[in-house]
Structure 1
């Protein structure tokens, strides 16, 4: 299991919803085909992008089933099972293993904050034990969980307590910590980058895989960025990262995930809006966003 590695671009998938906020699982198949057609090499389900924390456990199981079925073994499916209730998280992990997911991942509890490395290891050991046959990635996203625990001691101590711990989904901007985790114990851990607008910096520190929201709408752009970096054409890689930054800055003029879902609809994949408290863009906002994206050439180079 320690040899399990992710590679290239993994899309943090959106959860399709109807106008009333209920699941629209019929759209999972078209979304997966769109993503695979754009070149992504994995699916990260029910994370922040997929509104995992806004879904009931029953919904999360249904979404997991739908993505595993739609992927049909063509790419790895990683299921995010984190929950404020560790027992619920453990049960979600067990379900993911039962239905054929390839790996699990989890945020830490975020209402009662995890304040120590030991507390984080204990919590994640409980979750990961629900799916002992699947690789486990801790999802480090301090801006949402409020947990700023150093990932180096977590990995060092965690590997002794969590037999299926293989790495991290690292969604922070501390490249020095990311590099240290990546190089720890001769590269033992699979540390996957999670900030799309800083992918080039992560590649320079050794990243082999990245999980992100904007790979839903612009995976070919990032694939060209990776290709330019691997060829040593840093000028072109910086230019392409600059386009990514410009795209994300434009989308961030609106509530980000509702805006991303609106862009998917512009590309022919209707996944609805988001559940409250995020909601969805108004028709006027969506039209304004489309105009701004057209003005930066997004639909030509994305």
Structure 2
């Protein structure tokens, strides 16, 4: 049974990575250790089995197992959102029902993708999944699955149990407008890691993103800067985060992030094919770039890495 209301789910929420072993099996010990690391770093929740979590490389049973492991490790300390998105509504409903039984606090989904689904198809996809559990649904708007327009989002927001939106786009003017229209109890989460500060300033209730797996402390400070109206401090931290992200994105993502975790002294795990797993020596250029960023900003937050 869920422990948190949707309005309790705010702050910095990692879109949690998948942690496989070298044979591409789910690494339970690593998953538990990384969950504990992020809680210790101060994150405010978890977003499981999304695209960063390599969900589309896993079977439904594997996705459910990850959910079970993390919820068992979290033990109600922070909220857990489970991404149940897939192309087939029936598959997503099965994942949603398992998430509720496992004790998740909310579910989320990208719109159905690959085929060119109509707006009516997308609307009914969300309506059917939302009706399958008592959990709040967080709609996920992202370019990878096809950006939904404002009118469709507002129509979907009228569905029972649809209580939030993960907005992964740079058009924060629209995101802010949606927050104004939908009100304080409809939660909106900014999904662009490189624009977290902007997202919060435009009214987002929280942040859901990939790099919060490896540098959660920086984003916790960004969140606090906005809460405290420290605009210069927030901008500086966002610039550090952005240069860090852009340096990493010269390499395959999420693969290189596993190496970054090991540079922090963490286990980190591996990605599953066709994602590539780097040997450390292949990332010598990234180490140089990250050292330069650390020196440029005298960034104490990057002293945790062994570049």
Match of 1:223 among 215, 220, 225: 220
User: Using a 3 Å threshold, how does the CA distance of structure 1 residues 248 and 230 change in structure 2: closer, same or farther?
Assistant: same
Runs of 4+ in 1 over 6 A off after TM superposition: none
User: Using a 3 Å threshold, how does the CA distance of structure 1 residues 205 and 288 change in structure 2: closer, same or farther?
Assistant: same
Greater alpha carbon shift after TM alignment, 284-293 vs 73-82: 284-293
Measured in 2, the distance between the counterparts of 1:63 and 1:285 equals 29
Measured in 2, the distance between the counterparts of 1:185 and 1:55 equals 34
Alignment match, 1:141: 142
Match of 2:155 among 150, 157, 167: 157
Measured in 1, the distance between the counterparts of 2:33 and 2:292 equals 28
In the TM superposition, what is the alpha-carbon distance from 1:163 to its structure 2 partner?
1.3
User: Using a 3 Å threshold, how does the CA distance of structure 1 residues 8 and 62 change in structure 2: closer, same or farther?
Assistant: same
Match of 2:54 among 51, 55, 61: 51
Measured in 1, the distance between the counterparts of 2:294 and 2:267 equals 22
Measured in 1, the distance between the counterparts of 2:5 and 2:154 equals 17
CA contact (8 A) 1:28 1:70 kept: no
Alignment match, 1:242: 239
1:230-272: CA deviations, max 9, x gaps? Answer: 3333222211111011100111111121011111121122232
Structure 2 residue 122 is the aligned partner of structure 1 residue 120: yes
What SS is found at the alignment partner of 2:166? strand
In the TM superposition, what is the alpha-carbon distance from 1:3 to its structure 2 partner?
6.1
In the TM superposition, what is the alpha-carbon distance from 1:20 to its structure 2 partner?
1.6
Alignment match, 2:172: 175
Length-normalised TM-score, structure 2: 0.90
Measured in 1, the distance between the counterparts of 2:182 and 2:126 equals 20
Greater alpha carbon shift after TM alignment, 274-283 vs 175-184: 274-283
Measured in 2, the distance between the counterparts of 1:135 and 1:263 equals 34
Length-normalised TM-score, structure 1: 0.92
Alignment match, 1:67: 70
Q: Which runs of 5+ in 1 are unaligned?
A: none
Alignment match, 2:305: none
Alignment match, 1:41: 44
Taking only aligned residues, the RMSD between alpha carbons, in angstroms, comes to: 2.0
In the TM superposition, what is the alpha-carbon distance from 1:290 to its structure 2 partner?
3.1
1:160-199: CA deviations, max 9, x gaps? Answer: 4x31100111111111111111111433421111011101
Measured in 1, the distance between the counterparts of 2:182 and 2:100 equals 28
In the TM superposition, what is the alpha-carbon distance from 1:156 to its structure 2 partner?
2.9
Match of 1:258 among 237, 255, 280: 255
Match of 1:199 among 182, 196, 207: 196
What SS is found at the alignment partner of 1:79? strand
In the TM superposition, what is the alpha-carbon distance from 1:124 to its structure 2 partner?
1.1
What SS is found at the alignment partner of 1:279? coil
Match of 1:102 among 105, 109, 121: 105
Count of residues in Structure 1 that have an aligned counterpart in Structure 2:
296
Match of 2:15 among 12, 15, 21: 12
Measured in 2, the distance between the counterparts of 1:31 and 1:213 equals 14
